[in-house]
């Protein structure tokens, strides 16, 4: 079944974000992790999540509405080598404010490149989410780039590294925006969580 996704709006401060009752899911990861490609691939679009990348656009929190059900929130990528310290600080304060203050945030989708070892910045970010009890799942991206065996090994190593710090690991998804791998599982997860969040709210 195909779903309708439309660009809703972009914001620079969490206080400006919509006051809607709809649950929302944040997508985040290091710059270049494949976030825009994944969002586009999930919803069979080509250019939807590139709005935030247009030259001259400052970093913003971008909202997309899926059917009448929930928002996908595309947060700016972190760890881009060319960003100045000031830009990094502004990313941190905007994104962290977002995570700490959004009542309707149902889950954060943390994107991690399946082809390389876990980067310090990813690990720090996951620790920060854990320390603040913010629910998240891990989405391994670009899985078509390495042999399945290598992807499996990388993911196991990443999980081992995280298990040194955490007792439990959240669910994870193995995806490729190029091949469409993992897409149905991610979509099912999103729609199920959205249903659960709406039911929780009614109770």
Minimum distance from CB of 195 to ligand GDP (Å)?
A: 27
The reply to whether 33 sits near ligand GDP by the rule CB under 6 A is yes
- Burial of 50 per CB tally in 10 Å (0-12, 13-18, 19+): middle
Distance CA 191, CA 194 (A): 5
The reply to whether 145 sits near ligand GDP by the rule CB under 6 A is yes
The reply to whether 31 sits near ligand GDP by the rule CB under 6 A is yes
Q: Where is 109: in which H helix or E strand?
A: strand 105-113
Distance CA 60, CA 8 (A): 13
The reply to whether 144 sits near ligand GDP by the rule CB under 6 A is yes
Minimum distance from CB of 113 to ligand GDP (Å)?
A: 9
Which of 36, 59, 60, 95 binds ligand GDP (CB under 6 A)? It is 36
The reply to whether 76 sits near ligand GDP by the rule CB under 6 A is no
Question: Which 43-72 positions form the footprint of ligand GDP (CB under 6 A)?
Answer: none
The reply to whether 119 sits near ligand GDP by the rule CB under 6 A is no
Which of 22, 102, 142, 183 binds ligand GDP (CB under 6 A)? It is 142
Which of 23, 76, 77, 79 binds ligand GDP (CB under 6 A)? It is 77
Distance CA 124, CA 102 (A): 21
Q: How many CB atoms lie within 10 A of CB 174?
A: 18
The reply to whether 104 sits near ligand GDP by the rule CB under 6 A is no
Q: Where are the alpha helices (DSSP H) in 43-182?
A: 85-101, 120-131, 148-163
Contact 35, 111 (CB under 8 A): yes
Interface contacts to ligand GDP, rule CB under 6 A = 29, 31-37, 77, 141-142, 144-145, 176-178
């Amino acid at each position: 079944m195909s779903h309708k996704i439309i660009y809703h709006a972009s914001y620079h401060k969490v206080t400006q974000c919509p006051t809607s009752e709809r649950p929302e899911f944040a997508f985040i990861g290091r710059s270049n992790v494949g976030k825009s490609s994944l969002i586009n691939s999930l919803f069979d679009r080509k250019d939807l999540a590139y709005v935030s990348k247009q030259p001259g656009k400052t970093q913003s929190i971008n909202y997309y509405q899926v059917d009448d059900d929930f928002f996908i929130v595309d947060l700016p990528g972190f760890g881009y080598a060319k960003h100045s310290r000031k830009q990094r600080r502004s990313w941190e304060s905007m994104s962290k404010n977002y995570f700490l203050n959004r009542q309707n945030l149902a889950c954060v989708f943390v994107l991690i490149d399946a082809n390389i070892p876990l980067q310090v910045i990813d690990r720090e970010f996951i620790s920060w989410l854990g320390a603040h009890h913010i629910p998240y799942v891990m989405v391994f991206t670009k899985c078509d780039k390495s042999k399945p065996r290598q992807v499996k090994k990388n993911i196991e190593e990443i999980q081992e590294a995280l298990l040194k710090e955490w007792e439990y690991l959240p669910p994870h998804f193995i995806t490729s925006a190029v091949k469409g791998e993992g897409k149905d599982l991610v979509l099912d997860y999103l729609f199920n969580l959205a249903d659960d969040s709406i039911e929780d709210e009614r109770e």
